[in-house]
Amino acid sequence: MTTKSERTQQRIIDAANQLFYRKGYNRTSFTDVVDEAEVPRGNIYYYFKTKEEMLRAVIKHRMETTTLMLSEWEKSIKNPLDRLERFVQIMYDSTPALLRSGCPMGSLNVELAKDQPELKSDAKQLFDLFQQWLAKQFAQMGYPEEARELSLELLARGQGIIVIAQVYQDPGFLERGTKEINRWLENLDRYA
């Protein structure tokens, strides 16, 4: 059972998570978070002394939900190809959000890579998490040597497609892009 205080903290994290995604980390103010979470102004400092602390909590939260998601995929999907395609599918499923705010992981990293090295290294963990999971799938598919490189290539393809789809507000590009990735994955699987 969760205490009221825990629930408040979670509300703050959820609000910050959303705002950091929609507005970016630097353009999100404490006031924004306080309003969104419906927490009285001063109270937020009881939970997070600084904005950086808040970001770390948000990243931790994303790490947890992502870890859960990936392990569920691993449990419910037996075939590595299908798992990789499941990954591609969340891209497609998230079209509206991606067109509006870009990739939550990519845009955060791009933002923090500018001049905020400590925070950047925190955000990078999110990439690591996906990268390692993807590499595992490629390895199981029959590419143990190339697994890391293939996982990076898959991530790069995803990032590129999302950036362009967002710039041109073009859901079709995202759709064609994900289909093309699937073709590539299926070929890899076939000739493994």
- Please report, as ranges, the residues that interact with DNA according to CB under 7 A: 3-5, 8, 28-32, 39-43, 45-46, 49-51
Using rule CB under 8 A, residue 104 touches a second copy: no
Residue written as tokens 């999971």? 133
Which residues, at least 6 apart from 25, have a Cβ–Cβ distance to it below 8 Å?
A: 55, 108, 111, 112, 119
User: Residues 12, 81, 158, 178: which binds a second copy (CB under 8 A)?
Assistant: 158
Q: Which is nearer to a second copy, 11 or 22 (CB)?
A: 22
Please, what is the minimum distance in Å from the beta carbon of residue 3 to DNA? 5
Q: Which is nearer to DNA, 51 or 61 (CB)?
A: 51
Q: Which is nearer to a second copy, 115 or 118 (CB)?
A: 115
Tell me which of a second copy, DNA, none is bound by residue 102, counting a contact when its beta carbon lies within the kind-specific cut-off of 5 to 8 angstroms: a second copy
DSSP one-letter string for the chain = ---HHHHHHHHHHHHHHHHHHHH-STT--HHHHHHHHT--GGGHHHH-SSHHHHHHHHHHHHHHHHHHHHHHHHHH---HHHHHHHHHHHHHHTHHHHHHH--HHHHHHHHHHTT-HHHHHHHHHHHHHHHHHHHHHHHHHT-TTTHHHHHHHHHHHHHHHHHHHHHTT-HHHHHHHHHHHHHHHHHHHHT-
User: Residues 68, 90, 97, 156: which binds a second copy (CB under 8 A)?
Assistant: 156
Using rule CB under 8 A, residue 155 touches a second copy: yes
- For a second copy (CB under 8 A), the number of binding residues is 34
Please, what is the minimum distance in Å from the beta carbon of residue 126 to a second copy? 9
Instruction: Round to whole Å and give the CA distance between 55 and 108.
Output: 10
Residue list 32-61, contact with a second copy (CB under 8 A): none
Q: Which is nearer to a second copy, 47 or 177 (CB)?
A: 177
Binding site residues, a second copy, CB under 8 A: 22-24, 26-27, 101-102, 106-107, 109-111, 113-115, 124, 127, 149, 152, 155-161, 163-164, 166-168, 173, 176-177
